[in-house]
Structure 1
Amino acid sequence: MSINKNLDELCHLIFKYYFIDFIPFQNNEFIDTEIGEIPKGWNITTVGDILDCKLGGTPSRSNENYWGGDIAWINSGKVNEFRILEASEYITELGLKKSATKLLPAKTTVIAITGATLGQISLLEIDSCANQSVIGVIPNKKYPYEFVYPLISSILFDLLKHQTGGAQQHINKNNVESFKIVSPPENIISEYKNIVSSLYSQISANCFEIENLTKLRDTLLPKLMSGEIDVSKINCDLKYEINNLTLKLKNKLIEVVI
């Protein structure tokens, strides 16, 4: 298993330790609620009460002025990716204004809500719009992405019990917004965030590093293989550096494969 996936699993386990199993609070008084026992002083709320959920959309394909701009836009297939680093396509400011799509900030948790990708979730590492098969759950100051992302992951199984439809099963925005969850005190979320934030930052850094290394490999190696880059005239020291770089690229791609 890759470093990134190990780190991601660790973050989810820490979330479970705090907010599902309540291990640090076992000496506290617990109260009965409609979704089970929770520590006294915590609340039952819904996803929509504490977080802004946005349904995506697609600018009209018949209007060429809506496409080819500089605003990232993803389809639901991108939600299969571990982290979303690049757009599926790009739209214009006019395309954003004239369609139902919304611009979601980086660190938004995205959920695929229909079709073959139903139930997939990912985390945006870029600002991006999305299509109508994607819901974005936007973090805020009280509920940071380090809390929101594993929260949505933890409720996904039960959330999918609400799926409807015939040939193409789906859930809707109301299913997500109305889902009941536990809301911890703000100081507990801050304590948890202090533990996991460096792990999430490392995952993000690894993702961008591997993307850059992959692009460098895909650009450099074909040119070396085709002879477009003539290494015969390169001095020994530089040849050594190229070989060393190539080895580092291979090792890093193996080490941090996504």
Structure 2
Amino acid sequence: LGNFFADLDRLITLHQRKYDKLVIFKKSMLEKMFPKDGESVPEIRFAGFTDPWEQRQLGELVTTTIGGGTPSTSNPAYWDGEIPWIQSSNVLEDTLFDVDIPKAITQKGLEESAAQIVPENSIAVVTHVGVGKLIYLPFQYSTSQDFISLCGLKGDARYTCYALWKRLQEDLHIVQGSAIKGITKEDLLEKNLPMPSVEEQAQIGVLFSQLDNLITLHQRKLELLQNIKKSLLDKMFA
């Protein structure tokens, strides 16, 4: 038994180290593949790209924005419908393309509340409780009032998500120590993002999404091994 659990612990440690290294690598690449303040080119970029990046306000990069609302939770006619409805707690801190949406509203709930249908391929940005979180959704959805959704993206969707997430995290870090309860739509749309050509955006977006997929894979393997160990400890030492 001792050898078995020692081997299991070594396997858990191995996956933990792989996961930690990938997280650190992603953080480093986020710093090096985006220009530093006052600079127009990043430290690292893909071969073939030499043009300087531009600073563009977020409002220039979207066609429209849509808010949200919450149908009355005391009226069952508004809930358990077919329209996905997300709230801030559904969106994880560092996850930009994967979300569990346990709730859905009905057409009646949509019509009799401030909730709205958001078109597919939009970015839902948390602007109240949980500022700094965002999620890209490839399908139609609705949200609570804690979101502003960015619709009709004019650049590469994945790149825009990473660039905006990085900017929001930097802003949170600058004012660290003060409680940020919200951000207005106007302040959000005025945020500057560094924008290369659409072709370079696409390659950067693919790189970081692949990194995120690897991180998620190792995280799930790690959680699976930890759960197996816990289950075996409970059953073998009952």
SS of the equivalent of 2:72 reads: coil
Which of 33, 39, 53 lines up with 1:42 in the alignment? 53
**Runs of 5+ consecutive residues of structure 1 not aligned to the other structure:** 26-38, 214-247
Which letter maps to 1:50? L
User: Which runs of structure 2 are paired with 1:85-124 in the superposition (5 Å)?
Assistant: 85-104=99-118, 109-115=123-129, 117=130, 119-124=131-136
**Count of residue pairs brought into register by the alignment:** 198
**Runs of 5+ consecutive residues of structure 2 not aligned to the other structure:** 1-15, 37-41, 229-238
Partner of 1:236: none
Partner of 2:79: 67
TM-score (norm 1): 0.58
Partner of 2:149: 136
Instruction: State the alpha-carbon separation in 2 of the partners of residues 121 and 40 from structure 1.
Output: 31
SS of the equivalent of 2:91 reads: helix
- Report percent identity of matched pairs: 20
Partner of 2:6: none
Partner of 2:29: 14
1:23 pairs with 2:43: yes
Which letter maps to 1:18? M
Q: CA deviation at 1:171?
A: 1.1
Partner of 1:169: 181
Instruction: State the alpha-carbon separation in 1 of the partners of residues 225 and 138 from structure 2.
Output: 26
Instruction: State the alpha-carbon separation in 2 of the partners of residues 109 and 252 from structure 1.
Output: 33
Which letter maps to 1:251? L
SS of the equivalent of 2:33 reads: helix
Instruction: State the alpha-carbon separation in 2 of the partners of residues 250 and 3 from structure 1.
Output: 15
Going from structure 1 to structure 2, the CA distance change for 1:155 and 1:168 (only over 3 Å counts) comes to closer
Q: CA deviation at 1:131?
A: 0.7
After superposition, what is the alpha-carbon deviation per residue over 1:148-186, rounded to whole angstroms, capped at 9, x for unaligned?
Answer: 2321222115645999xxx98321111111112222122
Which letter maps to 1:23? E
SS of the equivalent of 1:23 reads: coil
Tell me if the contact between 1:107 and 1:123 (Cα under 8 Å) persists in the aligned partners: no
| RMSD after superposition | 4.1
Going from structure 1 to structure 2, the CA distance change for 1:61 and 1:196 (only over 3 Å counts) comes to closer
Tell me if the contact between 1:105 and 1:138 (Cα under 8 Å) persists in the aligned partners: yes
SS of the equivalent of 1:19 reads: coil
Q: Looking at CA atoms only, which structure, 1 or 2, has the larger radius of gyration? A: 1
Going from structure 1 to structure 2, the CA distance change for 1:95 and 1:154 (only over 3 Å counts) comes to same
Going from structure 1 to structure 2, the CA distance change for 1:63 and 1:4 (only over 3 Å counts) comes to farther
Partner of 1:149: 161
